[in-house]
A and B are shown apart, each in its own frame.
Chain A
Amino acid sequence: MASKIIVKNLNKSFGKLEVLKDVSTDIEEGEVVVVIGPSGSGKSTFLRCLNCLEEINGGTIIVDGFNLTDPKTNLNKVRRNIGMVFQHFNLFPHKTAKENVMLAPLTLKTMTKEEASKKADALLKQVGLSDKANIYPAQLSGGQKQRVAIARSLAMNPDVMLFDEPTSALDPEMVGEVLNVMKDLVKMGMTMVVVTHEMGFAREVGDRILFMDGGYIVEEGTPDQIINHPREPRTIDFLSKVL
C-alpha cells in the first residue's frame, strides 16, 4: 500500500514553546490512525499541521504526493483533498445545513449548482439528516451539528479525513451518533486521522494508535498493543487514568 501521509522530523513551536519535537510517522492509504494523549501533548497541533492550519517550523509533510513545506505547493488545492472536522463543529451559522455542505463545491466551482445540490442531499442522507437540510445550525443539536460538519467536509470528495476531538464537545448521549457516522467512513475505506478520547472507538476501528506526550510520539502500535500491552511508563500512566 502507498503512503498517503508522510511526516518527517516535524517541529512546531509557538514562540518559545516547542509543541512538536521531531515527530515522524507514515500513514497508509485506507489506514485509520487514532491519536491519543494528555491535553497539551501536541496531538491537536499535530493534526492541524497535516493540512497546514498551523505553519510548521521544521521537517517535511507530504500528503497525497504534495509537499506541504514546499512554498510552491498550492495549499488551497491540497486542502480540498483533506477534510477536517473540528471539536466545536465550526458550522457556518449564516447558512443552512445544506448550504454549509454546498458552500465549498460552489465557491471553488468544482460542481454546478445541480451537482452540488445532489451531492449535498446524498451526504446529508449518509449522515442521517435529510430532514434537516434547510435548518440553520442554531436549531441543531450538538450531534446533528457535528454530523452536518462531517457531511460538509466530505463535499469536496477528500481522500483523507482529519478529526480533531470530534466528540469532546458533545453531550454523552450524542457521542454515539457521531461515532457511527465515522465508522461508516471507515467501512468505506477512508484514510482517517482521529484525535480522540474515545478509547472504545480507538479499539474498535483503529488500525494504529499513536500515543503522544510532551510533543513526542511516545509509543505507537495496534490498539491491542497500546491499550492492552503498553510498554512505556507514560502510556501506562495515561491509560490508567482514562480507562
Chain B
Amino acid sequence: MKFFDLLVQHFPTFISSMLITIEITAMALVIATILGIVFCLFKLSKYKVLQYITDVYIGIIRGTPLIVQILFIFLGISSVFHFKWDLMVASVLIMSLNAGAYMTELIRGGIEAVDKGQAEAARSLGLSYGQAMRKIVLPQAFRTMLPSIINQFIVTLKDTSLLSIIGVRELVQNTKIITANNMEAFNMYAIVGLYYWVIVTILSALAKMIERRTSYGK
C-alpha cells in the first residue's frame, strides 16, 4: 500500500521534524510554567499595578489568534527593530508567551482550589507567605492542576503546527515540503496526523501514570 511505503520512505525526516515539534513544545511549556507562576503571583498580590499587568497580558493572548501572535512577533517586531529572528528562539518565545497566559489562569484555579485552611495551618506554624506557598499550597495545587497542565501540553504541541507559517520545519512544514514534491496530499496528511496522534496518546498515558503516583495514600 502507498500509505505504508510513504510512511517508511519519509520516516527519517518525520522523526527529525517531530523532534523539533517536541523540543519547541517542551521548552515553551517549561518557560510557560514559570511565566504562569509569576503572573499568577502578580494576580494574587495586593498591588493593583501587577494585577492590571496580568489582566492585560492574558487579555491580549486570549483575545487574539495564535497565528496573529506568530506573525506579529516574527515579522512585526523584527521589522520595527531591524533584526532577524532565529527561528527556534522566536518559536519558543511565541509558544511560551501564548501558553503562559493559559497557564496563569490554570495555576490560579489550582491555587484557589486548595483549601484556605492549608495556608492558615502553615502560617500558624510560623512559615512565611513564600514558604507556605512553596511547601504547602503549590504542591497541592499542582496535583489538582496536573490534568489541565497535561491538556495544555497537548494543546501547545498541536499549536506548534501553526509555526509552519514562518517556515519552522516542524511536522506540518515537513509534510508541506514533501507533498509539494510527491503530490500525495491524502496520504501525507494522514501520516502527519498519525504522528500527532501517537505523541498525544503517549502523553495522555503518561499523565494517567503520574496522576496515580501522586495520589497520597488514597
Contacts and interface: CB of A to CB of B under 8 A. Distances in A.
Interface in B121-140: 121-128, 131, 135-136, 139-140
B201 interface: no
Nearest to B116: A90
A80 B123 contact: no
A90 B126 contact: no
A165 to B, nearest CB: 13
A102 to B, nearest CB: 11
A86 B117 CA distance: 8
Interface in A33-85: 51, 53, 76-77, 79-80, 82-84
A80 B126 contact: yes
B127 A108 contact: yes
Interface string B105-149: 000000000010110111111111001000110011001000000
A30 to B, nearest CB: 21
A152 interface: yes
Contacts of A88: 115, 117
B136 A79 contact: no
Contact of B124 (A84, A95, A135, A139): A84
A77 B126 contact: yes
A53 B123 contact: yes
A94 B127 contact: no
Nearest to A108: B126
B126 A139 contact: no
Interface residues of A, number: 31
Given A90-B117, A94-B216, A76 B124 contact: no
A164 B122 CA distance: 15
Contact of A79 (B115, B118, B125, B135): B125
Interface string A133-161: 00111110000000001001101100000
B65 interface: no
Contacts of B12: none
B135 A136 contact: no
Contact of A93 (B125, B127, B216): B216
Contact of A104 (B125, B139, B217): B125
Contacts of A155: 125
A53 B116 CA distance: 11
Among A76, A82, A156, find the residue whose CB has the most chain B CB atoms closer than 10 A. A76
A93 B117 CA distance: 12
A107 B125 CA distance: 10
A83 B127 CA distance: 12
A104 B124 CA distance: 10
Nearest to A87: B117
Interface of A: 51, 53, 76-77, 79-80, 82-84, 86, 88, 90-95, 103-104, 107-108, 135-139, 149, 152-153, 155-156
Given A86-B121, A107-B131, A137-B217, 15 more contacts: A51-B124, A80-B126, A82-B124, A84-B124, A92-B118, A94-B139, A103-B135, A104-B126, A107-B135, A108-B125, A108-B127, A108-B131, A136-B216, A136-B217, A136-B218
